[in-house]
Structure 1
Amino acid sequence: METYWETLRDAEFPVARNWAYLDHAAVAPLPRRSAMAIRAWADDQAEHGAVDWPSWERKVEALRDGLAAWIGADRDEVAFVSSTTHGIGLVAEGFPWNEGDHIVVPAEEYPSNIYPWMNLASRGVAVRLVPTRDDRVWIEDLRDAMDARTRMLAVSHVEFASGFRNDLDALGELCRSRGVAFFVDAIQGLGPFEIDLARTPIDFLAADGHKWLLGPEGAGFLYVRRDWIERLRPLGVGWHSVVGSFNSPEVAFRLKPNAQRWEGGSFVMPGLQGLAASMSLLGEIGSRAVSERILDRAEAVREAAASAGWSVLGSKRPPDRSAIVAVAADGVDPQAAVRSLRGEGVVAACRRGRLRISPHVYTNDDDVRRLREALAACRRRGETRADGPEYP
């Protein structure tokens, strides 16, 4: 099986010639086929204008089918958005709030899953931030924060800094039992984990494709469970939101009966062409194999960090772990370590005072060895903070 991954690495990931790239929780490098798809689209438009637009649209609709199948949804429940933040905003602003309602959110969420909810304060809607304990988001704490005015629970599948994996099945059942809507920021979970929305009771889900799905930035999707489509107010309405042609002689405001009503105007066409190619690659591997391989590589990273004298942070329970590995070492500033690692050809990130490492399917044992050696060198030197860029 290792031969398969090496062949895939050589064929699809030119980044591996230059870097031990371990930062997929930030921005992933494009597979070769995705870069080719974007270049082909750009050349096509440069040479032919919009003559071939129908073929571009067919690829976009095939991508919609593929994403729906990847998460166990129906294509009518999937809308394309420009970012996870965009999708969260559509849910936050379109939800049927009443003054005095509130939302429960873990305090360690990425800002994009906090600020859109806080922005509802002018409508009389409050946010209850629930602190973590022992690097875990405890279901009991989320439950205790709920009361009769709780309308929404908003969580990430995987917390971006700690790598803690929330139990979506358990949280979904909690929300159902309380009559609370359930929103999931899935950007750090899709890829490392399989999601089956036919089983897991999630009402809304948003994710961009530029992390674990290996797509370009600016191409993501929003899932709206079918029974919410008529209840969630559509925002950004335009020509693509309605039934009928943009070229119809009469004005007929009839919203599409599916999630496409949130696709008000033109697509981010090059991004979606690239994401379609990336999803074709992941589809060839298979969601189960992708998940197993990424999680296996994350365990190899944990072992390498520990052997280099770094502390592996976060919950020790296997069900709580994800493909994000957070580590720290006494006397080593994590932002300085990021710069030092890049000097050794290793790409990682710093998030909230921790060094964050995030491998993918093509990460091989040589990458892990380079990481271990670079971490050991950082620890020996005791890297301290110095002026320099804060990498994304």
Structure 2
Amino acid sequence: PEEIAFVKNTTEGIGIVAQGLDWQPGDRVLACDLEYPSNVTPWWGLRDQGVETVMLPGRDGRLPLETVEEALASPRVRLLALSSVEFGSGARNDLAALSALCRERGVLFCLDAIQSVGCLPIDVAALGIDFLSADGHKWLCSVEGSGIFYCAAALQDRIRPRVVGWRNVADNHDFDTYQTALQPTAVRYEEGSPNMPGIFALGGAIDLALELGVEAIAGRVLALTDALVTGLHEKGATVISPRGAEASGIVAFRMGDEPPRRTVGRLLAENVYLAARRGCVRASPHFYNEPSEIERLLELL
């Protein structure tokens, strides 16, 4: 708990890192052109400080590890900013390998984990992740407006809060004394009154995930997506999402020449909810979905 702060959303957590580090002109951030805007624009916002964001090119919906390794060779790189799972393709990044590359070179690793938390296991300590941010409204099945930000304890003194308020100072219940000394934990990133209804909802969602077991949730989700991918291939669809170690809860595909938004629209008319993302149709079954619902989706396609 000393390394967790409550935030409004994934973007806010990433922004705490982007605005809190002591950047120097010429520093580099490595990002990727497969990323959701939340993990790009906060870094682009550092241009006026002389910080360059290098957009690594994805290939077939994936970011090759060798591309990252080559880019990390520059001594100017301060931080790697990636997602645990790419939102458009569903490709799961090799976090252990990426973290190892960063540690070898003294580079910080900031993770957008909204497409994993609540669906796939992530052990930040074992993986050596420095920062992680995730909203609660996706795989955690909570509400919008409440999420988590993880900052490794050893790095908290290097990430200066953007705002110092009543809550993130050291003695935050002494209302008679004005002070600026910070909390010794990640509460230093919670400057004011928290979103209590959202936090209680998030707590309930986390309790449910822990009760079911994250490993069990992952097994269920991957079994559903495996069945969907098999059925899509039988339908002649083009499946973008990888399988095996790179598989996630997202399946991205195209149905021939049909525009993805048109596919999504006709399925919506049948009360089947998918999304159009990055030129594909995106399906994201969760543990509560039934195999029969996957079969119905395939029939409608």
Tell me, yes or no, whether TM beats 0.5.
Answer: yes
Q: Does 1:103 align with 2:29?
A: yes
Q: Residues 284-338 of structure 1, C-alpha deviation per residue, up to 9 Å, x if partnerless?
A: 111111111111111122122223331211335x111111000102221110111
Q: Secondary structure at the match of 2:157?
A: coil
Gaps of 5+ in 2: none
Letter aligned with residue 161 of structure 2 = P
Match of 1:315 in 2: 242
Q: Does the CA-based 8 Å contact 1:295-1:323 persist in structure 2? A: yes
Match of 2:293 in 1: 367
Q: Residues 40-59 of structure 1, C-alpha deviation per residue, up to 9 Å, x if partnerless?
A: xxxxxxxxxxxxxxxxxxxx
Q: How does 1:282-361 map to 2 (within 5 A)?
A: 282-316=209-243, 318-361=244-287
Q: Residues 33-79 of structure 1, C-alpha deviation per residue, up to 9 Å, x if partnerless?
A: xxxxxxxxxxxxxxxxxxxxxxxxxxxxxxxxxxxxxxxxxx10000
Name whichever of 165-174 and 196-205 sits farther off. 196-205
Q: 1:175: how far off?
A: 0.1
Q: Secondary structure at the match of 1:241?
A: coil
Q: 1:247: how far off?
A: 4.5
Q: Does the CA-based 8 Å contact 1:304-1:372 persist in structure 2? A: yes
Q: Does the CA-based 8 Å contact 2:168-2:188 persist in structure 1? A: yes
Q: How does 1:35-74 map to 2 (within 5 A)?
A: none
Match of 1:67 in 2: none
Q: Does the CA-based 8 Å contact 2:119-2:140 persist in structure 1? A: no
Letter aligned with residue 268 of structure 1 = N
Q: Secondary structure at the match of 1:229?
A: helix
Q: 1:184: how far off?
A: 0.4
- Aligned CA distance change for structure 1 residues 286 and 314 (closer, same or farther; 3 Å): closer
Q: 1:187: how far off?
A: 0.4
Q: Secondary structure at the match of 1:272?
A: helix
Q: Does 1:217 align with 2:144?
A: yes
Q: Secondary structure at the match of 1:221?
A: strand
Quote the Cα distance in structure 1 between the aligned partners of 2:62 and 2:186: 34
Q: Secondary structure at the match of 2:61?
A: coil
Gaps of 5+ in 1: 1-74, 376-392
How many residues are paired up?
Answer: 300
Q: How does 1:1-392 map to 2 (within 5 A)?
A: 75-146=1-72, 147-316=74-243, 318-375=244-301
Q: Secondary structure at the match of 1:240?
A: coil
> Which structure: greater helix fraction?
1
Quote the Cα distance in structure 2 between the aligned partners of 1:206 and 1:246: 27
Quote the Cα distance in structure 1 between the aligned partners of 2:61 and 2:138: 23
Quote the Cα distance in structure 2 between the aligned partners of 1:365 and 1:165: 23
Letter aligned with residue 85 of structure 1 = T
Letter aligned with residue 367 of structure 1 = E
Q: Secondary structure at the match of 2:288?
A: coil
Q: Does the CA-based 8 Å contact 1:187-1:211 persist in structure 2? A: yes
Q: Secondary structure at the match of 2:119?
A: coil
Quote the Cα distance in structure 2 between the aligned partners of 1:295 and 1:123: 43
Letter aligned with residue 9 of structure 2 = S
- Normalized against structure 2, the TM-score is what? 0.97
Q: 1:136: how far off?
A: 1.8
Quote the Cα distance in structure 2 between the aligned partners of 1:280 and 1:362: 16
Letter aligned with residue 129 of structure 1 = M
Quote the Cα distance in structure 1 between the aligned partners of 2:204 and 2:258: 40
Letter aligned with residue 176 of structure 1 = R
Letter aligned with residue 88 of structure 1 = I
Q: 1:246: how far off?
A: 4.1
Q: Secondary structure at the match of 1:257?
A: coil
Runs of 4+ in 1 over 4 A off after TM superposition: none
Identity of aligned residues (%): 42
Q: Does the CA-based 8 Å contact 1:192-1:295 persist in structure 2? A: no
Q: Does the CA-based 8 Å contact 2:60-2:240 persist in structure 1? A: no
Q: Secondary structure at the match of 2:124?
A: coil
Letter aligned with residue 237 of structure 2 = W
Q: Over aligned residue pairs, what C-alpha RMSD do you find?
A: 1.2
Q: Secondary structure at the match of 1:182?
A: strand
Quote the Cα distance in structure 2 between the aligned partners of 1:294 and 1:151: 35
Q: Secondary structure at the match of 2:109?
A: strand
Q: 1:252: how far off?
A: 2.6
